[in-house]
Amino acid sequence: PGFYRFKANLAGYQSYRLDVAVIEEAVAAEIVLVLSSGMSISGNIFDPLGKPVAGAQIAAFKERVERDAPLQKRLQVLLDLQEMQEENGIISTSDDSGHYQIVGLEDLSYRLQVVASTFSPAEQRYISAGSTGIDFVLELGGVLAGTVQDPGAVGIADALVEVYRQTGTQDIIEIIQERAMPPLASRQTDGSGFFEFNELGGGSNYRLVARATGYQPRQFENLQVDSGGTAEVDVVLSPGEVISGTVYDPFGTALPGARCKVNQMGARSQGPPIDLTDDGIETDESGQFIFDTLTDGDYRLLVSYPDFATYQELRIRPGTDPLNIQLSEGAAISGSVLDVETNGPIPGAVVTVNDVADVRKTSVTDGDGHYFVRGITEQRRPTVYVSVVATGYTRSGNQQVEVADGSETPEANFYLERNGVVRGQVISANGVPLPGVSVSARKMHSEQNPVVVNAAPPVTSDSDGNFEVVEVSPGEGLFLEGSHSQYLISQSENFDLVAGASIDGLTLVMKIGGALSGIVIDEVGAPIEAAVVAVRDEWLGEVNPESLPNKSYSDAAGQWMIRSVPDGDHTIICSVPGYLIIERSGIVVSEGRNTANIELQVVKGAILEGQVVSMDGDPIEGARIIAIDTSEGLRKLNRSTDLTGYFKFDNLGRYPVDLIVEKSGYAEVRLFEQPVDQQPISIRLEALGGIRGTVIDESGSPLRAFSVSPRIIEGDREVTRVPSRTFQSEEGRYDFDRLQPGTYNVLIGAPGYAQDVIENVVVRSNRWEDLPTVVLGQGGRVLGRIIDASSGQSVAGAKVTVSGGNRNFLTSTTFRPSGAGRRDQILTGADGYFEFIGLAVPTITLKVEHRAYISETVEGVLSGTADLIIAIGAGGIIEGRVSDRDGNFLAGTQVLLSGGIKGTDARSQTDRKGFFTFPGLPTGHYVIRVTNFGRGDGTPTRIKNAPTFEVRVEAGTTEFLEVEIEV
């Protein structure tokens, strides 16, 4: 059983995919994949002299974002990342006459990309399927060659070298799409590490990525290859850092097929290429995994398996010692998915639990609507978010369910509403029916989360402008949204849709918007070419006009025009390299009209330039300089140093700026009130230092796992500038690098041991400081007793809980079967004593609860405490029984308690005999309310005029309510 996606591809046909839920013990329906004839795009490929080019490869990729679509629409491309990276394009090869025809296309717009040996690549955007005569004239190509070597200048054979187009756009959505494209070309290096590309050149920039097993990947950006010329790039790959280990199941057996991922933590402005998606690797038959292409740094390791809890370790650093990871059984939830109207089961519903990070655990309901999801991870908050999807029903998203490691949460039921249907017509402002408009039903997610979401998949209007949107989620305040390349994104009036209903006769009017036009000039009135003018939303903060969708570039006469602007007041922004960015607000646009003669005068920016060097005067490449400019508001501008350490800002205001200079391996430098339009400045960065040492236990044996946290002393304060790191070493050794020079207090701790501190450690630039051996003593134990505050007698049956749960304890991945008890929660016996062992933190917070006493919380309990006494005061009890007018007890009815002091609000559910109880209440007035939120058997309680009671209770007394309700 499960949820499967079937996909069929055949040359000349549109691809087809079908999602199918396979239900346990049910006969699966026959899978039928229907392929329909696809559309085509054709044309010819010519060389600069007009001669045909044979053997050129032309690839068509779907355009994921409509041209000039608004930002909200453009952001939806993020939902297609996985599909984008899996798309390799539909490819055709030109024949001897240079003709090509790409077949099997859908009725969409495509990006065409042409690659041919000895020619420069070419591209055309937004080509509609069905187009003919799409010709390309290719420029003469150039050659990009080089070698891939190790640091010893030895060639690396079989290294993979890939070349990608790099346009230099500042549009973040275009950058994402660009990064998701496959390479233009790729090569495997020969035995000497040599590679050569002959299909590059022209006016494009390129990004080269080199990878080899056991080496750190490396990329080179903004490479240029002249037509007819030759460019060289030699790549030196450093040996990869290694994180490896073995994964075991809860019973200690090596586990093949576990998925392992590592992600570098923290921001980085340089280094290896970043993948938009990462599937990780799977353990082999021996349960082993290895990542051997890593750079030095802190990583998050994630290990997941469908049947077991997900393992996560933060700030792990590459090392030589393999890890041993044992997964636990985790938690489980079960229940039913039901139709909210009929209370009938919904077979084939997909129940998804959002586990740690991007891990998801799923189940498909059986013929009775039942599901069971296991391997759920209990996190800091003992709740998980669950979503349910079923064909014909509205998705139920992010419902919270409580879980506990090693146990099952039953009766987690979900009720789904049936979807509806909406029909209507799309017309222009003149009443003309419009075919080919993409129509979506949309709505606000909720009042608490006012984000517009799709209520149904989009459809396309037919030749008469008619449309039918099916599978529409019911609700209030829905609206239709239409999109078309020749019109603005337009919305209909709001409407309400009842579950399972249909609405006919809706009208969607498409608008064309207005236009803005004008000129960009400098201080003396001379026109400026290539200025970027864009319409920006008021809610956006500091923004680069290049990243905005609705923009224009000024021509040689400084003229610009922006079309398809919605009517209303707008703000435009203009930028030119070397000039200050300017904004103009309050510009009115009217439907179908051009607001013309907008003059934008830009002012030359001030200059601040210089060089970043080491303390020895050597230039530092790749340092990041942030300029904080307050001349007009607050602006933050970024630059990176080149090979010579040089940087330049040419668009600053007239007032002094603050600078922040960052570079991995060097201490951060901050410079205040730096004047502009002066001589170049020189900035010296001090190399970072490090500390190293050994950690042992009281018997003299090295600790194999421990953490080190250096905290720098600034004045009279102790400040954490770098996060703590966890070390795993057979010798108990640690090497903590990249520390800013200064004086530190170094905290060293390990799960189950008392923490130690080495004070006043002086770290010097570019030096290692050897610290004395640290001996950690066993800690991690708290022993105490619960007594009655009045009598001093021991209290039996008190529940003592460590706030924060399992994260306060020594990590243990061995599964504890049900009945073994929670290590973070204990019930006192007749003597009132409790004991927690295996603590991993120096202090804990305890919460004490008892049905006859007022709950108490004790903070700051030190690990190692053996004589803790906690006195609790007697509390009041409100209890009662719920039945109908025939005397039948109502089980599973929810009862709410409110009032009293802050923190006493609660809810209870009646047991099988209709009883409920609220214990441990302070003296006060309370309100008891019977609700119709649901019953234990998964059915709603139909209550007419649900009753409410006001009750006063004194500490140490009990009040009983007999509740009779009409159902």
Higher-pLDDT residue of 53, 513: 53
Beta-bridge partner residues of 532: 553, 575
Q: Is the pLDDT of residue 64 over 90?
A: no
Q: Tokens at residue 665, please?
A: 């391996």
Beta-bridge partner residues of 502: 421
Pair 442, 387 in one domain: no
User: What SS3 class is residue 65?
Assistant: coil
Band the pLDDT of 773: cuts 50, 70, 90. very high
Averaged confidence pLDDT in the chain? 87
Compute the distance between CA of residue 763 and CA of residue 770 in angstroms, rounded to an integer. Answer: 10
Contacts of 816 (CB under 8 A, 6+ apart): 405, 406, 823
H or E segment at 534? strand 532-536
Q: Strands across the sheet with 99-105, in order? A: 99-105, 39-46, 136-137
Band the pLDDT of 449: cuts 50, 70, 90. low
- 881 belongs to a structural domain: yes
Q: Which CATH number covers residue 579?
A: 2.60.40.1120
Compute the distance between CA of residue 279 and CA of residue 85 in angstroms, rounded to an integer. Answer: 12
Determine what percent of the chain falls in helix, strand and coil, rounding each to the nearest 5. 5, 55, 45
Compute the distance between CA of residue 418 and CA of residue 500 in angstroms, rounded to an integer. Answer: 5
Q: Is the pLDDT of residue 827 over 80?
A: yes
- Lowest-pLDDT range, 528-542, 608-622, 930-944? 930-944
How many angstroms separate the first and last alpha carbons of the chain? 39
Domain that holds residue 400: 331-416
- Average pLDDT rounded to a whole number, residues 572-601: 92
Number of other CB atoms surrounding residue 441 within 10 Å: 29
Pair 69, 124 in one domain: yes
Q: Is the pLDDT of residue 422 over 80?
A: yes
Strand pairing category for 756-763 and 742-749 = antiparallel
Band the pLDDT of 816: cuts 50, 70, 90. very low
pLDDT score, position 412 = 93
Residue written as token pair 């007793």: 785
pLDDT score, position 87 = 82
H or E segment at 776? strand 774-776
Q: Tokens at residue 826, please?
A: 């204990």
Pair 822, 789 in one domain: yes
Higher-pLDDT residue of 372, 279: 372
In 663-725, alpha helices (H): none
pLDDT score, position 83 = 79
In 9-96, alpha helices (H): 71-74, 81-86
H or E segment at 387? strand 383-389
pLDDT digits (tens, 9 = 90+) for 661-698: 999 889 889 999 999 999 999 999 999 999 999 999 88
H or E segment at 172? helix 172-180
Q: Is the pLDDT of residue 550 over 50?
A: yes
Q: Tokens at residue 872, please?
A: 């609790």
Band the pLDDT of 269: cuts 50, 70, 90. very low
Q: Is the pLDDT of residue 939 over 60?
A: no
Pair 881, 945 in one domain: yes
pLDDT score, position 15 = 79
Structural domains in the chain (count):
10
pLDDT score, position 751 = 66
Higher-pLDDT residue of 936, 685: 685
Phi/psi-derived region of residue 650, left when phi > 0, alpha when psi is between -120 and 50, beta in every other case: alpha
Compute the distance between CA of residue 211 and CA of residue 272 in angstroms, rounded to an integer. Answer: 10
pLDDT score, position 821 = 62
| Whether 707 contacts 750, CB under 8 Å | yes
Band the pLDDT of 892: cuts 50, 70, 90. confident
- 10 belongs to a structural domain: no
**Dihedral (Cα; 723, 726, 731, 735), 10-degree rounding:** -20
Compute the distance between CA of residue 803 and CA of residue 301 in angstroms, rounded to an integer. Answer: 26
Strand pairing category for 142-149 and 194-200 = antiparallel
Q: Is the pLDDT of residue 426 over 70?
A: yes
pLDDT digits (tens, 9 = 90+) for 702-760: 988 888 999 999 988 888 888 888 888 888 999 998 898 999 999 998 766 767 889 99
Number of other CB atoms surrounding residue 57 within 10 Å: 20
Compute the distance between CA of residue 694 and CA of residue 700 in angstroms, rounded to an integer. Answer: 11
Using the 3D structure, point to which of 776, 811, 839 is the last residue of a domain.
776
Residue written as token pair 């509609």: 128
Structural Rg of the chain based on CA atoms = 34
Would you give the distance in Å from CA 66 to the centre of its chain?
24
Number of other CB atoms surrounding residue 41 within 10 Å: 24
Pair 146, 230 in one domain: yes
- 33 belongs to a structural domain: no
Number of other CB atoms surrounding residue 125 within 10 Å: 12
Q: What percent of the chain has pLDDT over 90?
A: 53
Nearest Cα neighbor of 434 from 460, 457, 458 is 460
pLDDT score, position 940 = 53
Pair 550, 622 in one domain: no
pLDDT score, position 850 = 86
Q: What percent of the chain has pLDDT over 70?
A: 93
Q: Which CATH number covers residue 383?
A: 2.60.40.10
Q: Which CATH number covers residue 80?
A: 2.60.40.4130
- 7 belongs to a structural domain: no
- 464 belongs to a structural domain: yes
- 110 belongs to a structural domain: yes
Beta-bridge partner residues of 376: 331
- 880 belongs to a structural domain: yes
- Average pLDDT rounded to a whole number, residues 413-440: 94
pLDDT score, position 72 = 64
Using the 3D structure, point to which of 137, 154, 169 is the last residue of a domain.
137
- 4 belongs to a structural domain: no
Q: Is the pLDDT of residue 536 over 80?
A: yes
Question: Side-chain half-sphere of 425: how many Cα atoms within 13 Å?
Answer: 11
Contacts of 446 (CB under 8 A, 6+ apart): none
Nearest Cα neighbor of 180 from 164, 169, 168, 167 is 164
- Average pLDDT rounded to a whole number, residues 861-868: 83
Phi then psi for residue 173, to 5 deg, are -70, -40
Instruction: Indicate the burial class of 414 (C-beta count within 10 angstroms; 0-12, 13-18, 19 or more).
Output: buried
Higher-pLDDT residue of 516, 807: 516
| Whether 878 contacts 951, CB under 8 Å | yes
Number of other CB atoms surrounding residue 532 within 10 Å: 22
User: What SS3 class is residue 482?
Assistant: strand
Using the 3D structure, point to which of 660, 685, 710 is the last residue of a domain.
685
Nearest Cα neighbor of 447 from 476, 420, 423, 487 is 476
Beta-bridge partner residues of 770: 692
- Lowest-pLDDT range, 105-114, 285-294, 350-359, 450-459? 450-459
pLDDT score, position 722 = 86
Beta-bridge partner residues of 952: 925
Pair 300, 335 in one domain: no
Band the pLDDT of 814: cuts 50, 70, 90. very low
Beta-bridge partner residues of 927: 898, 950
Nearest Cα neighbor of 472 from 487, 486, 453 is 453
Band the pLDDT of 561: cuts 50, 70, 90. very high
Band the pLDDT of 303: cuts 50, 70, 90. very high
